[in-house]
Chain A
Amino acid sequence: MTDTLVLLDHAADGTLRTPVRELVTLARSLGGSVQGVWALGAPDGTGAPDGPSDATLAELGALGLSRVHRVRADADLHLSAALAEVLAALLDSTGAGLLLATSTFENKEVAARLAVATGAGVVTDADALAVEDGRLVAGKTVFAGTWTTRCAVTAPLAVVTVKANSVVVQTADDGGTPDVVDHDVAVSAAARRVTLVERTERPASGRPDLGSAHVVVAGGRGTEGDFSLVEELADVLGGAVGATRVATDEGWIGHDAQIGQTGVTISPRLYIGAGISGAVHHRGGMQASGTIVAINSDPDAPIFEIADFGIVGDLTTVLPQASAELRRLKG
């Protein structure tokens, strides 16, 4: 049994990041209490909401979260050093043995700081978590998704970042509305040594976030710069649009769409890659996907080695035909 603190990642407008729901579900399965941390941004208040909405609270409560710690600090909590200090104090005061956070770059920075400050054992990009013989054991794939490992935390405190789409979200039988506890925190001068000169959140695209989408349709050099067919299929499937580095470097689509070792790591239920060769750097970011579909005109393209369903063909005919047929089947 482990009491857990869940970092409640949210957009500037207060929208909860989708995978946080998975974290709460996962935390509940460990048998202990589940509390959340809602960290507020800039102290000067830039018109952003000052906490979770009633609807968000109700949703978190239904998932089994019993308490929300709403924290405002005298520093922007988007700074990892400041947030790590706040979380270290909350782990201490709540006695929680585990902090769960989504696997974002920022949260991994926070995890690194907590490891140094508290001696916590850290597992990043976990896809499963259980208590075995009194220790937390996390599942994780490594080497570009080609190996699975199970990793035990041997320290008394654990910090685990979890990949999106690792857990099926389930509401609790005994859900309620969480209470909200306010904290006003002064962080140390050391935690304020980095100045956040500017932070611009990307506007919502109307599509799901690439990092947490259940379905991702990705395009590469084979699109020759025209992403409309990729986008069309993504929209029919309610998915996100991704790309290779070639496509983002060419400026065909934003850098935030890059999947791979130096881009976003994804593990959706369904990945469809069109005009993508399957370079190791790209595979590293998508090989853990549930079902992999590849469309490529070259029968020897390496992506076919890992595809569940491969089509040797021209994406400019296959993609629109698939979109039209799906629309027809779905009525």
Chain B
Amino acid sequence: MCVKHVPDIQSDRALGADGRVVRDGGDGTLNELDENALEAALVLAEEAGGEVVALTVGPDDAVDAVRKGLAMGADDAVHVVDDAIAGSDAIGTARVLAAAVRHLSQERPVDLVVTGMAGLDGLTSLLPTALAALLDVPALPLAAEVTVADGTVRVRRELDQATEVLEATLPAVVSVTDQTNEPRYPNFKGIMAARKKPVTTLTLADLGLAATDVGAAGARTQVVEAAPRPTREDRVLINDTGDAGIRLAAYLVDNQLA
């Protein structure tokens, strides 16, 4: 079970001169979509019997994400934190997660990795598939519905042009969408219990990764320029006094949009 920490989508976000997301601390929350992933993992573990480990990669305050996971009911929490990770692209992040999953499977087999559909910060949906490729296991991304039975995972997914049903033998990586479930709210008991549970912290060295494999050094793309989009100019706001539809039609024709 992976939780990736990202700043809250509602708060203003910015890119620094180096093209990295500026995280001013404090505003970091669990990616809403990762709550769907946790919910799916918890339900599958409840049905099949098993444990859920909340795993996140990110700066110090990313620990809040796995704490939320514990409060929702995860059995264990693991936080991979290392200064060298900053500036990682999706593939670099996937490398860290893959190494962490391998590390965890030394203690107990990991049958299923569940992620959210896309990190909100870069909106890149590369992570689950890249993670599966690195772990050399099947990927079943974008599940609107996921079931596990007899060592087989089955997923229904809605794509732009088609609906698909995919099936594979465990172990596997699944990503879930916001259609999959309604994440539970942590209750008081869960929150109190979560406070007592330890969070395991791992560094790149613990995972056998070199700093050059990840972070800006390991990235194959580099942001060379970033700027807030200019606000739209010449904006018009009218109150309908009976002819707004006619004025809209004229606006569209004048601007060659109709």
Residue of A whose beta carbon sits closest to that of B178: A262
CB <8 Å contact, A313 and B165: no
Quick one: given A124-B124, A324-B245, A329-B249, are A255 and B179 in contact (CB under 8 Å)? yes
Determine if A194 and B140 form an interchain contact, defined as CB atoms under 8 angstroms apart: yes
Note all chain A residues with C-beta closer than 8 A to B221: 121-123, 151-155
Q: Which residue of A lies closest to B257 (CB)?
A: A270
Query: How close is B224's CB to chain A, nearest CB, in angstroms?
Result: 5
Query: Restricting to A165-195, which residues have a CB under 8 Å from any CB of B?
Result: 190, 193-195
Q: Using Cβ atoms and an 8 Å threshold, which residues of chain A touch B227?
A: 147-149
Q: How far is the CA of A236 from the CA of B258 in the complex (A)?
A: 9
Partner of B239 from A146, A151, A197, A313 at Cβ < 8 Å? A313
For residue B251, CB closer than 8 A to chain A, the reply is yes
Residues A321 and B224 in contact in the complex (CB < 8 Å), given A146-B229, A308-B236, A312-B237: no
Chain A contact surface mostly = mixed
B155-196 contacts to A (CB < 8 Å) = 158-169, 177-179
Task: Please report B residues at the A interface, Cβ cutoff 8 Å.
Answer: 9-10, 13-15, 19, 33, 89-91, 94, 117-118, 120-130, 133-134, 136-142, 154, 158-169, 177-179, 219-229, 232, 234-240, 243-253, 255, 257-258
* Beta-carbon contact of B139 and A109 below 8 Å: yes
Q: Is A89 located at the chain interface by the 8 A CB criterion?
A: no
B residues near A146, Cβ cutoff 8 Å: 13, 228-229
Number of interface residues of A (CB under 8 A): 94
A92-111 toward B: CB 8 Å interface, digit per residue (1/0)? 00000000000011101101
Considering the complex, give the chain A residue whose CB is closest to the CB of B9: A280
Whether the Cβ atoms of B139 and A321 lie closer than 8 Å is no
Complex contacts, B257 vs chain A, CB 8 Å: 215, 269-270, 291
Assembled-state Cα–Cα distance A147/B249 (Å): 30
Residues of B contacting A123 with CB < 8 Å? 221
Q: Which residues of A contact B247 (CB under 8 A)?
A: 311
- Distance to closest chain A CB from B174 (angstroms): 11
Partner-contacting stretch, out of A24-32, A48-56, A67-75, A198-206: A198-206
